[in-house]
């Protein structure tokens, strides 16, 4: 079993961790934080400060 | 990389740029898309204030999440970066980033090109300084000192924001034109400087300044989709390193944008672009290419 686990690529493990964090982040309101910023014109981004 | 393969990459770059900017109406009305999909990040550097943008920019969102999160960690953005990085690494830079495509097209102009060397290798560390300084530290310092968490990279440097969002929105909105000031002039100057640099240097923004490329570079050796070298075929001739327009020391290292220019130069045919869910312990890790 452990031998088989050693053959799981680290990229796959990190991908799984990343997706899990996305889910946790959504429940914490992270999605709303990003949406709130992205759905309005960002004056800093366009150079108006 | 053969001409057909290169054309295929540019086609995918173009499709990715289009997919990230499907709100065509915004370019004529001078408005941005405000639907809930805007809370989802696209993999490449594509300003969320671009009139066409239908998703969020990972770097802008990371800064916004850092300053909005207060005492809690921005798990949503950390997870997003980890997922894109583990899946694609800097394949995003070479195949999916709209600002990378623009620089690739500029590089096509038949002008004398500055060769890479020790100078470009040193400058390539600049993107890590910008990642730490402007993306992570500066917004948090500004938040602590002024109470306003300015996204410093977007505000002071990002040329994608100026090109994709600033110029089209300002052109379409007379109200915004009246708000123009020194910051806008500075950002246009940065953009012009980078466009001029891109005429003579291959993808200068990606290689020297892009914090998103810096983030993805940490995943380049472990990404599921990447160029891999078959060590049994590799003859250590160094042709791939010499052919590469970026500052790689070996295929898929931190500087490799996974463009595949090295593939056709490899006489041993040791380099291939693969997506795999299996661990390959015998290949590429120690391949000196």
Determine whether the interchain pair B224/A15 forms a contact, defined as Cβ–Cβ distance below 8 Å: yes
Chain A interface, mutation test: which of B79, B157, B164, B274, most A Cβ atoms within 10 Å? B79
Is the confidence at residue B285, as pLDDT, over 80? no
Closest CA–CA distance from residue A5 to any residue of chain B (Å): 10
Query: What is the DSSP secondary structure assignment for residue B115, as one 8-state letter?
Result: P
- By CB atoms closer than 10 A (0-12, 13-18, 19+), residue B274 is exposed
A20: closest CA of chain B, how far (Å): 7
Question: Under DSSP, is residue B127 helix (H, G, I), strand (E, B) or coil?
Answer: helix
Q: Coil, strand or helix: which one is B271? A: strand
Determine whether the interchain pair A8/B181 forms a contact, defined as Cβ–Cβ distance below 8 Å.
Answer: no
Q: Is B248 helix (H, G, I), strand (E, B) or coil?
A: coil
Enumerate the residues of chain A whose CB falls inside 8 A of the CB of residue B40.
31
For chain B, where are the E strands, in sequence order? 225-229, 271-275
Nearest to B80 among A22, A32, A38 (CB): A22
B281: number of Cβ within 10 Å: 9
CA quadruple A19, A21, A24, A30: dihedral sign: negative
CB–CB contact A11 B82 (8 Å): no
For the cut 70, the answer to whether the pLDDT of residue B8 exceeds it is yes
- Which pLDDT band holds residue B203 (cuts at 50, 70, 90)? very high
Q: Which two tokens stand for residue B188?
A: 């246009």
B71-104: pLDDT as tens digits: 678 999 999 999 999 999 999 999 999 999 999 9
Question: What average pLDDT score do residues A25-37 get?
Answer: 92
What is the overall mean pLDDT for chain B? Answer: 92
Would the CB atoms of A30 and B74 count as touching at under 8 Å? Answer: yes
Separation CA B197–CA B206 (nearest Å): 12
| Main-chain phi, psi angles of B121, to 5 degrees | -65, -40
Chain-chain contact of A24 with B219 (C-beta, under 8 angstroms): no
**Do B83 and B201 meet the contact criterion of CB atoms below 8 Å apart?**
no
Distance CA B50, CA B35 (A): 14
CB atoms within 10 A of CB B283: 17
Query: Are residues A33 and B188, on separate chains, in Cβ contact within 8 Å?
Result: no
Contacts of B182 (CB under 8 A, 6+ apart): none
- A38: chain B residues, CB-CB within 8 Å: 38-39, 48, 53, 55-57, 60-61, 64
Chain A residues in contact with chain B using a Cβ-Cβ cutoff of 8 Å:
6-15, 17-26, 28, 30-49
Q: Between chains, do A15 and B87 touch, taking CB under 8 Å as contact?
A: yes
pLDDT surpassing 80 at residue B211: yes
The predicted pLDDT at position B226 comes to 95
Q: What's the rounded mean pLDDT across residues B3-26?
A: 90
Tokens found for residue B143 = 């938040």
What local confidence, expressed as pLDDT, does residue B289 receive? 41
> Can you tell me the ipTM of this complex?
0.92
Give chain A positions within 8 Å (CB) of B220.
none
The DSSP call for residue B41 is: B
Rounded to whole angstroms, how far apart are CA atoms B254 and B126?
13
Determine the pLDDT at residue B245: 95
Q: Residue B7: how many CB atoms within 10 A of its CB?
A: 11
pLDDT band at B148 (very low <50, low <70, confident <90, very high): confident
Token pair of B38, please? 């805007």
Residue of chain A with shortest Cα separation from B279? A9
Encode pLDDT of B39-76 as tens digits.
Answer: 999 999 999 999 999 999 999 999 988 887 666 789 99
pLDDT of residue B143: 87
Mean pLDDT of B141-160: 90
The predicted structure's pLDDT at residue B1: 57
Q: Do the chains contact at A48 and B36, CB–CB below 8 Å?
A: no
Distance in angstroms (rounded) separating the CA atoms of residues B59 and B151:
9
Nearest-10 crossing angle of helices B3-20, B98-107: 140
Residue B73: predicted pLDDT: 87
Do A46 and B184 count as a contact with CB atoms less than 8 A apart?
Answer: yes
């Amino acid at each position: 079993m452990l031998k088989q686990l050693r053959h799981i690529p680290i990229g796959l493990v990190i991908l799984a961790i990343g997706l899990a964090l996305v889910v946790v982040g959504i429940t914490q309101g992270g999605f709303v934080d990003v949406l709130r910023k992205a759905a309005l014109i960002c004056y800093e981004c366009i150079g108006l400060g | 990389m053969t001409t057909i393969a290169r054309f295929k990459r540019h086609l995918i770059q173009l499709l990715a740029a289009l997919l990230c900017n499907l709100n065509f109406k915004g370019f004529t009305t001078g408005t941005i898309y405000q639907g809930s999909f805007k809370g989802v990040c696209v993999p490449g550097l594509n300003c969320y204030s671009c009139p066409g943008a239908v998703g969020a920019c990972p770097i802008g969102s990371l800064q916004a999440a850092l300053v909005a999160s207060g005492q809690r960690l921005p798990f949503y953005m950390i997870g997003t970066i980890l997922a894109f990085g583990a899946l694609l690494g800097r394949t995003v830079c070479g195949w999916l980033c709209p600002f990378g495509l623009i620089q690739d097209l500029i590089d096509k102009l038949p002008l004398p090109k500055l060769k890479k060397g020790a100078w470009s290798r040193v400058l390539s560390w600049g993107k890590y300084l910008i990642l730490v300084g402007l993306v992570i530290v500066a917004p948090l310092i500004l938040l602590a000192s002024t109470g306003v968490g300015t996204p410093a990279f977007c505000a002071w440097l990002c040329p994608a924001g100026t090109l994709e969002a600033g110029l089209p929105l300002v052109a379409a909105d007379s109200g915004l034109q009246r708000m123009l000031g020194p910051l806008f002039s500075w950002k246009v100057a940065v953009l012009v400087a980078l466009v001029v640099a891109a005429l003579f240097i291959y993808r200068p923004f990606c290689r020297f300044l892009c914090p998103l490329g810096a983030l993805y570079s940490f995943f380049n050796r472990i990404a599921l989709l990447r160029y891999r070298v078959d060590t049994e075929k590799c003859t250590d001739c160094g042709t791939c390193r010499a052919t590469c327009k970026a500052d790689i020391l070996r295929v898929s290292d931190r500087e490799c944008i996974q463009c595949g220019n090295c593939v056709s130069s490899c006489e041993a045919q040791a380099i291939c672009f693969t997506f795999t869910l299996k661990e390959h312990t015998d290949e590429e890790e120690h391949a000196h290419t």
